[in-house]
Amino acid sequence: MRVLITGGAGFIGSHLCDYLLARGHEVICMDNLITGSTANIAHLAGYERFLFIKHDVTNYIFVEGPLDAVLHFASPASPIDYLEYPIQTLKVGALGTHKALGLAKDKKARFLLASTSEVYGDPLVHPQREDYWGNVNPIGPRGVYDEAKRFAEAMTMAYHRAHGVDTRIARIFNTYGPRMRLKDGRVVPNFVAQALRGEPLTVFGDGSQTRSFCYVSDLIEGIYRLLESEVTDPVNLGNPEEMSILEFAHKIVALTGSRSPIVFVQPEDARVRDDPKVRKPDITRARTLLGWQPQVSLEEGLRRTIEWFRDRV
């Protein structure tokens, strides 16, 4: 396949580039580097089957030659990123998705949208199944991300129904691993960096909110299987092993061998407004339709991630 990955210089996008190249595909990585970095793809420079194009996908996308698939991963993804770039986040979810779909239609390529568990908002149904419509505050600080992704899903289904574009929607739950930015503000890099530096781990609120963490290689395998499948309705991809953020903080302290204390902080800012209280994917559809489930245990995934961060803090 000849594949375009938007957001290919980001955390997940760059792992996707590696995976597709390793499978013998040709990869065009397009990114404006707003939250990504060429450091994530520097090792691919010189590959014959790899091309990087610096471009903001909210503008018309031009790609020469045929394309078999367009994988749309461009979007700020961490709460502090999309709070810093609210309008860019809305634009890439709306205009960027429109441009990427237009390209897929023109090239008769398959299209895959990187959607998110945030479409479920602060969920009233637990665990979250794909047929749950969600509980999102459109005007809250997270609304810029959540509503952009909800719009992106609606646009994807409209292109599927109206133009017959062959589309896939992955609803990705919290994913972690090497190449996350140390300062992207998400809980994994925050806690790991704090533990490695011997600083206090900052648990927001009372730490009873839950999350379920998926190691990046598992997620990438799920994305590839979804792309290869014929499933056009959304599919949750994530690890159903759920824990509270407080338990997670203890796990990071134990795995890093750190002496850091755990402190409870109550940020006044937008980071914790509408913070989902629970999150856990129901992955029945991924299991039955894709034959997929996570393989990497949380301990193993965190060990690999901690090793990666150890050299960088």
**Which residues are near ligand UDP by CB under 6 A?**
78-79, 174, 186-187, 190, 202-204, 209, 211, 245, 272, 275
Cβ of residue 147: shortest distance to ligand UDP, in angstroms?
A: 15
Q: Which of ligand NAD, ligand UDP, none lies near 73, with the C-beta cut-off 5 to 8 A by kind?
A: ligand NAD
Nearer of residues 58 and 156 to ligand NAD, judged by Cβ:
58
Q: Which of 54, 68, 59 is nearest to 9 (CA)?
A: 54
| Candidates 145, 176, 215, 224; catalytic one | 145
Q: Which does 34 bind (CB under 5 to 8 A by kind): ligand NAD, ligand UDP, none?
A: ligand NAD
Cβ distance to ligand UDP smaller for residue 58 or 174: 174
Cα 174 to Cα 77, 144, 169, 219, distances in angstroms? 10, 18, 16, 10
| Alpha-carbon distances of 269 from 96, 251, 262, 274, 300, rounded to whole Å | 28, 26, 20, 11, 33
Q: Is 47 a catalytic residue?
A: no
Is residue 58 within the footprint of ligand NAD (CB under 6 A)? yes
Residues 6+ apart with CB under 8 A from 282: 127, 128, 129, 130, 236, 240
With CB cut-offs between 5 and 8 Å by kind, which of ligand UDP, ligand NAD, none does residue 175 bind? ligand NAD
| Separation CA 45–CA 27 (nearest Å) | 12
Report the distance separating Cα 141 and Cα 135, nearest Å: 14
Four-CA torsion 265, 268, 274, 279, nearest 10 degrees: -20
Of the candidate spans 135-143, 172-180, 279-287, 295-303, the one that interacts with ligand NAD by CB under 6 A turns out to be 172-180
Alpha carbons 215 and 300: distance in angstroms, whole number: 9
Tokens of 96: 């960027």
DSSP calls for 19-55: HHHHTT-EEEEEE--SS--GGGTGGGTT-TTEEEEE-
Which CB sits closer to ligand UDP, 42 or 124? 124
Nearest to 146 by CA among 85, 93, 214, 74: 93
Tally of CB atoms within 10 A around 261:
12
Residue 31 binding target from ligand NAD, ligand UDP, none, CB below 5 to 8 Å by type: ligand NAD
For residue 189, the minimal CB distance to ligand UDP (Å) is: 8
Of 6 and 260, which has the nearer Cβ to ligand NAD? 6
**Which of 18, 26, 44, 116 is the binder for ligand NAD (CB under 6 A)?**
116
Do 6 and 211 contact (CB within 8 A), yes or no? no
Query: What minimum distance in Å lies between the beta carbon of 19 and ligand UDP?
Result: 23
Q: Tokens 């009873």, residue?
A: 208
Q: Which of 74, 245, 252, 302 binds ligand NAD (CB under 6 A)?
A: 74
Region near ligand NAD per CB under 6 A, out of 25-33, 203-211, 223-231, 290-298 = 25-33
- Judged by the rule CB under 6 A, the positions of this chain that interact with ligand NAD are 6-7, 9-13, 31-36, 56-58, 73-77, 81, 92, 96, 114, 116, 172, 174-175
**Catalytic residues, which ones?**
145
